[in-house]
Chains A and B, each alone.
Chain A
Amino acid sequence: MPLSAFVLVHLLVALALPIVARRNTRAAFAIAAVPPAAALTWVLARSGAVLGGDAIVEEIQWAPLLGLEFTFRLDALALLMTLLVAGIGVLVLVYSIGYFQPGTGDARRSAPLLLAFAGAMFGLVLADDLLTVYVFWELTTICSFLLVGQAGISRESRRSALQALMITAMGGLVMLLGFVVLGEAAGTYRISEIINEPPGGTPLVVAASLILVGALTKSAQMPFHNWLPTAMVAPTPISAYLHAASMVKAGIFLVARLGPVFVGVPQWWVPTLVFGLITMVLGGWRALHETDLKKLLAYGTVSQLGFLMVLVGQGTYAAALAGAAMLLAHGLFKATLFLVVGAVDHQAGTRDVRELSGLGRRMPALAIIAALAAASMAGLPPMLGFLGKEAAFGAFLGRGGNGLFVDLVLVLGSVFTVAYSARMLWGAFGDKPGVPATAAKPPNGLLLVPAAVPAFAGVVLGVGYPLTDELASAYAGVFAAGPEVPHLELWHGFELPLLFSVIAVAAGLWVHALRTPLTLWRSRLPKPLDAQRGYERMMALLERTAVGVTGRMQVGSLPTYLAIILLTVLAVPGSVLLYHAHIPDDMRLYHNLLQVPLAILVIIAAIAAVRAKRRLTAVVVVGVIGYGIGGLFIVDGGPDVALAQFLVETLTMVAFVFVLRRLPARFTKGDTARSLRWPKLALSVAGGVVIALAAVLFSAARQRPPDVSSDFIAQSEQGAGATNIVNAILVDFRAFDTVGEISVLAVAATGVASLVLAARFDRRRRSTRGASAVPSEERPKSVVSGNGQRHEEVQE
């Protein structure tokens, strides 16, 4: 079981890593790089067989009776993603050794979190079970929340982390709903089985829409893209990992993974196409105007994610082939570029385009690496990005006018891509007239080598296109290929895709040359829609609603709370009860003569309790009711229950008496109480009737002792060693319940004690402020509610 072991080792090492990180953060990063490196080696060794079509499958039973299991499966897509997740994981962790100041809090936190993140991603891409996918999906959300939030000291990082969490977790919950719909409709939660026999009809459509919400939010598609650029407050290596290999790629991966299930479902491919195209163009447009290199790259990622979404959502062989190639290409060049920007930031102390100048001559090696990656991003031959982009243009040709339109939008997006690639290179390394040359030392090997590896991999995979073709077509094979099977090639001949590429590069360079007038023009444009402002408005609305609802519900009045509870009981179970009520035929007034006096006693006590004027009388009379009920238990042959009832009743009375010492002897009768008298009476009578009815119906519903009772009776003597079956159930058969119940009791007792003691403390503190020397009897007695506000004594 190597697959699950790798996932587990990642998470376990991440758990143990804080101990190392406390002593030596560099060592922590080095150790953290080991598990992904091992996973990478192992997966590479198996890659031949996997690409040949042999999937490695593993199952771990989790709760077999419920059909819950962790299932892992290494197939072509998982292999592709694993290469990115583990490969870039190793590079980022090695890079972090040089990037983070040793011994700082950021470094101490980041090593275990990054490794945990890698483990969660690893689990996600290998998962073959929808619920397993969900578990790891949310683990990545939590990891990214912690990574973006860092120590949570700055307000900005807190808000960004919360925004990322809110948006992606919201999408994740909707996605879970879709998973359930899909799994229930298909009768299995195994993805590979669902692909073989996809369900049809409405459930498929519903599941497609719901799952897409999760994928779109996670992959930062418009209009959910806003969390990604704000998440840029995280340290750069973390951004590199988030953007290149994990988190945002999860959404693309999910669409690619479930694509075969939803082939031909318009609710699946139309949104991915529309949202993807809009995201690609708008993201590219925003990236053109950023001055912060990281933000520029972030919007570049948004744009590329749109592109990827278009490709993986189509459900055709050609698009899937292009999608797989672009997925790989994007991971490689984005990792390089982020690591380069991190190195620039680390050495020069800034990453603002307007302040950097002449770095290209100071750091030629870094500039060359960046140029290779940017060329791949812009889609220049012979890079991997070029392969992907050519295949993408080709995938939509031959689909008539609509395909041509899609291609034109893709070309527009590519123009922006070329333009911001040029802007990135120029911004980081160019000589700018009028800006003094930035003072910076060239970075050392620890920063350089991890950035160089993916950049050169992009070249190698571009030149060695047969290898890339094998990798990508192994995934694309899940879709039916047409009569003519497309391939990734550097040279297709003089065809339309080549023309598109030439147009994109030429126009992109032209747009870059026009950057100053273009930005001026853009700042004059009206901005009717801003996703960030929309998010903020929504959050503010949510908080206002919460305050309003809480203010209405938690008014600090016991009668109001009781009324709300009773109304709920009447509305929900009560209405169902009345709807289904039918009084059993063989109902008897009593079946034991002793019940009659006890019932009369209880009824008289109940009436007396309502009419009582003094608190002590009321408490005593309520106690009489309790003892009467205990007596009824004895009559019905339940000495255990009766004993517990008597003891609890006694204790309750003692507790009441304690509290009564601080309350007035008589019930106060306010003016408001009089007007509410009849509604209160009606409500309490209705509540009583419903409960009585429920008691009659529920006890009548059982005709004979259920099997489980006779089972318990048979088992208690030899199984639990008890002749008292109630006790045998409590401490043996259902001991788990008992432990749970006493835990609740412990929490409740501690909570009540804390509240009472806190109120005393509060009172004492107020009195030491010397506000008043009035004896407490003359002041209105007050209770202190949870939020520290003072309310006048609860009105009766």
Chain B
Amino acid sequence: MTDPRITAPRNGERPRVPWTGWDAPRERWLLSGFPRDGRERAMLLELAARIVFPTVLVLSIYLLFAGHDRAGGGFSGGLVAGQAFALRYLAGGRMDDSAIISLRPPVLIGLGLTIATLTGFVPLMFGNELLESAIYKIGVPLLGQIKFVTSIVLDLGVYLLILGVVLDLLRTLGSGIEADAAAAERGQA
């Protein structure tokens, strides 16, 4: 909220913006904590990211579940989700990813790995073999029969881990390099 152009008075008058900045977008399309300089923003990209982002996330979850019968799976789903965040990052700038997801990437990676590993051990408690999966078929009104295979949990672990890896990439190569560049501009580097 430091950018004066965004908090410009809205009482009907035109904001005092030099004419060179008139075409810079003033609305904040992405709920990010870090508003960029208007000249760096691309309105179409931001708008597209805003619209596409939730859809892509839904698609990624669809891929996660669809993997068992059609193309998809935890790996693809995680990558798609990661790319949704990559799009947000490209559109919204460096703080954007951390503003939306409060889990830090290493935590996400660890969580995914833990889920995947523990899933392997759960069957041991029921007297089955390591990593063995069970199939449950549940009849749900309106939806019909739903098949649930326990290996989806392992896939979920893969999904989270891949998402964590992509977010880590954004954090190090994306925000990291951007912060470096910003520091260089301020003459610190």
A-to-B contact residues, CB < 8 Å: 639-640, 643-644, 647-648, 650-651, 654-655, 658-659, 661-662, 720-724, 726-728, 730-732, 735-736, 738-739, 742-743, 745-746, 749-750, 752-753, 756-757, 760, 763-764, 767, 773, 775-777
Contacts and interface: CB of A to CB of B under 8 A. Distances in A.
A722 B112 contact: no
B69 A647 contact: no
A724 B67 contact: yes
Contacts of B71: 639-640, 643, 724
B151 A735 contact: yes
A749 B168 contact: yes
A713 to B, nearest CB: 15
Nearest to A654: B86
A302 to B, nearest CB: 49
Contact of B72 (A723, A727, A750): A727
Given A720-B133, A721-B135, A749-B109, A727 B168 contact: no
Contact of A651 (B83, B147, B149): B83
Nearest to A756: B172
A738 B76 contact: no
For chain A, what secondary structure do more than half of its interface residues adopt (helix, strand, loop), or is it mixed? Answer: helix
A227 B136 CA distance: 63
A724 B180 CA distance: 45
Interface of B: 67-76, 79-80, 82-83, 86, 90, 105-106, 109-110, 112-113, 116-117, 120, 130-131, 133, 135, 147, 149, 151-152, 154-155, 157-158, 161-162, 164-166, 168-169, 171-174, 176-181, 183-184, 187-189
A731 B74 contact: yes
Given A722-B69, A724-B67, A775-B187, A731 B172 contact: no
A731 B73 contact: yes
Nearest to A656: B173
Contacts of A756: 172-173, 176
B174 A658 contact: yes
Nearest to A661: B177
Nearest to B172: A756
24 contacts: A651-B166, A651-B169, A659-B173, A659-B177, A661-B181, A720-B149, A721-B133, A721-B149, A727-B68, A731-B67, A732-B131, A732-B133, A739-B116, A742-B116, A742-B161, A745-B162, A746-B113, A749-B164, A749-B168, A752-B172, A753-B168, A753-B172, A775-B184, A777-B184
Nearest to B160: A742
Contact of B165 (A639, A738, A749): A749
A721 B174 CA distance: 40
A299 to B, nearest CB: 52
B102 to A, nearest CB: 18
B83 A650 contact: yes
Given A659-B177, A739-B116, A763-B189, 13 more contacts: A643-B71, A651-B166, A651-B169, A654-B86, A661-B181, A721-B135, A722-B69, A724-B70, A726-B73, A735-B131, A739-B154, A746-B165, A760-B180
Interface centre among B90, B120, B131 (most CB of A within 10 A): B131
Contacts of A760: 176, 179-180
Contacts of A639: 71
